[in-house]
Structures are given as structure tokens and as C-alpha cells.
């Protein structure tokens, strides 16, 4: 089994471009209603869905706080590159890069354009 999280966004193309730039993901589908974002190995790691594109009764309510109780968590061998991109793109950083001794890696916490909290972690043991 492989996770393929889907988040609802206001502007699929804008969010896609943001994730492609900040996390170095690639478009695997494209479009105004739905997008699949792929990692450097061509594996889907995130789906974007426009709130009003199709009737999905369990997707949520666009007027509510986005992602309450959920984090989009990514691990990368390119942690320093991601941190540099966050600063270049003036992303709202919630927690600057820090060492998480419990997980034995580095982390940075930030928000995406829709207000979802995203965490990028270095690989285990990368201190």
C-alpha cells in the first residue's frame, strides 16, 4: 500500500506550480480541476483537487479551517535545497529548520497557499 494524499485547493494550477517549485515535484496530470504531483522517481506523492470541480460529499467544506488535525509530511534527501527554496519563495515558515532528536532528523514546518501545514524532514539519521 502507498499513500496518495489528496487535498482540496482553490486554484489547482497555482498550487501545482507552488508545490513544483518549493518541493521540486513534477506535474503528472495537469489541469484546472485535478493534478497529480510526482517525485523525482515518477511516483505520485500528492493529489490536488479543486473544491467545486466535482461533487465529493466527504471532501470537506471550503469555508472551514484547512487541514485541522492533518499534516502533509514529506521526507527528502534534499532538505537544504527545500529550505533554500522556502526562503526564495517567501513561504510562511511556522518552525525554522530544527533537529528533531526523537525522529533523528531535521524538520521545517510551513504553510502552503491554501493554509495547509506542510512538514519537510530530512532522511532518518541526517543530523
CA 118 vs. chain centroid, Å, equals: 5
CA 32 vs. chain centroid, Å, equals: 18
Domains and CATH numbers, the chain: 6-53+67-122 (3.10.180.10)
Q: Report the distance separating Cα 71 and Cα 114, nearest Å.
A: 13
pLDDT tens for 72-123 read 999 999 999 999 999 999 999 999 999 999 999 999 999 999 999 999 999 9
Note the pTM of the prediction, 2 decimals. Answer: 0.91
Contact, 100 vs 106, CB < 8 A? yes
Q: Report the distance separating Cα 123 and Cα 74, nearest Å.
A: 10
Residue 84: DSSP 8-state: H
**Strand partners for 26:** 38
**Strand partners for 13:** none
pLDDT tens for 7-62 read 999 999 999 999 999 999 999 998 999 999 999 999 999 999 998 777 777 777 77
Rg for the chain, CA atoms, rounded? 15
Q: Report the distance separating Cα 53 and Cα 34, nearest Å.
A: 8
Amino acid at each position: 500500500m502507498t499513500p496518495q494524499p489528496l487535498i482540496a485547493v482553490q486554484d489547482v494550477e497555482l498550487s501545482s506550480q507552488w508545490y513544483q517549485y518549493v518541493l521540486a515535484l513534477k506535474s503528472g496530470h495537469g489541469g484546472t480541476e485535478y493534478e497529480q504531483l510526482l517525485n523525482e522517481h515518477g511516483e505520485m506523492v500528492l493529489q490536488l483537487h479543486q473544491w467545486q470541480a466535482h461533487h465529493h460529499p466527504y471532501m470537506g467544506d471550503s469555508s472551514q479551517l484547512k487541514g485541522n488535525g492533518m499534516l502533509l509530511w514529506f521526507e527528502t534527501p534534499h532538505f537544504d535545497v527545500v529550505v533554500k527554496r522556502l526562503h526564495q519563495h517567501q513561504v510562511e515558515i511556522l518552525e525554522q529548520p530544527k533537529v528533531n532528536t526523537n525522529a533523528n532528523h531535521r524538520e521545517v514546518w510551513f504553510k502552503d497557499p491554501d493554509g495547509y501545514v506542510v512538514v519537510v524532514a530530512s532522511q532518518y539519521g541526517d543530523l
